[in-house]
């Protein structure tokens, strides 16, 4: 793999990069001595040109690697480009193994997502905090978290946390409060929520959301 030509991977030489990405792109039992995570997770990446229309959204995603231990996570994450180095209209996805990062997936179809809009320049810090909180099970919501998405856009960056059950108001508010806590957001931070059914109806991710203060 030529990291200098790959927009996903950091342009830094390494002897074991190919081995790391190849061996981690499948689920499995962590090696002896590693610290296993509760779930196996998968990183995905997508980029499109401005004004380009994507007919096959799922097919346009690139699966980067899966990991099931702390050590495997850092082996992958340390070679990913930081969000500040990604081109506009790019998305990182982090989802549980077996959950497709699309609205229509069985695990997602009855759920929705919390949305936080960020000023440019803040995404790298907040994305890392969010990823660590998710894989470290800081969201105490009984398996409700399906994944998270970072969307790099022209005038803002957006992080979103996807959950299984949009109709469970108590759980949803707990997820919102946990996001604020792990990201150290002010309590009056404006957050938005949108169900995946609404996204399917209007074919948009971030329009026509419900706003929470």
CATH number at residue 199: 3.30.760.10
More reliable by pLDDT, 53 or 132 = 132
> Can you give the pLDDT at residue 27?
54
Mean pLDDT, rounded, for 10-22 = 39
**199 CB burial (10 A radius; 0-12, 13-18, 19+):** buried
Cross-strand bridge partners of residue 206:
none
Confirm whether 33 is domain-assigned. yes
Domain count, the chain: 1
8, part of any domain? no
CA distance 175 to 162: 10
**Confidence band of 8 (pLDDT split at 50, 70, 90):** low
What pLDDT does residue 138 have? 97
Q: Specify if 94 maps to a domain.
A: yes
- What's the pLDDT at 26? 52
Query: Does 66 map to a domain?
Result: yes
φ, ψ (nearest 5 deg) of residue 69: -140, 165
pLDDT band for 1, please (50, 70, 90 cuts): very low
Residue 143 belongs to a domain: yes
pTM of the model as a whole: 0.85
d(CA 167, CA 10): 40
Quick check: is 34 in a domain?
yes
In whole angstroms, what is the distance from residue 43 CA to residue 64 CA? Answer: 5
The position carrying tokens 């404006």 is: 190
pLDDT value at 101 more than 80: yes
Q: Which strand (E) or helix (H) includes residue 95? A: strand 90-96
Domain assignment of residue 81, given as a range: 21-212
Provide the terminal-to-terminal Cα distance of the chain, rounded to the nearest Å: 45
Least confident of 26-30, 45-49, 63-67, 121-125: 26-30
Looking at the domain assignment, is residue 11 inside a domain?
Answer: no
């Amino acid at each position: 793999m030529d990291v200098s030509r790959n927009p996903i991977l950091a342009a830094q030489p390494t002897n074991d990069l190919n081995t790391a990405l190849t061996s981690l792109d499948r689920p499995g039992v962590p090696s002896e001595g590693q610290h296993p995570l509760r779930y196996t997770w998968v990183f995905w990446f997508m980029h499109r040109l401005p004004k380009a229309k994507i007919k096959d959204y799922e097919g346009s995603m690139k699966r980067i690697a899966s990991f099931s231990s702390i050590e495997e996570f850092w082996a992958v994450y340390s070679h990913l480009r930081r969000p500040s180095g990604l081109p506009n209209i790019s998305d990182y996805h982090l989802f549980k193994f077996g959950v497709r990062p699309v609205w229509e997936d069985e695990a997602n179809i009855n759920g929705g997502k919390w949305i936080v809009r960020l000023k440019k320049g803040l995404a790298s810090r907040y994305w890392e905090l969010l990823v660590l909180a998710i894989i470290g099970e800081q969201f105490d919501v009984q398996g409700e978290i399906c994944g998270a998405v970072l969307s790099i856009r022209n005038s803002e960056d957006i992080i979103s946390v996807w959950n299984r059950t949009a109709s469970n108001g108590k759980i949803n508010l707990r997820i919102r409060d946990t996001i604020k806590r792990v990201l150290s957001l002010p309590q009056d931070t404006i957050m938005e929520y949108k169900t995946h059914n609404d996204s399917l109806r209007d074919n948009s991710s971030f329009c026509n959301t419900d706003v929470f203060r």
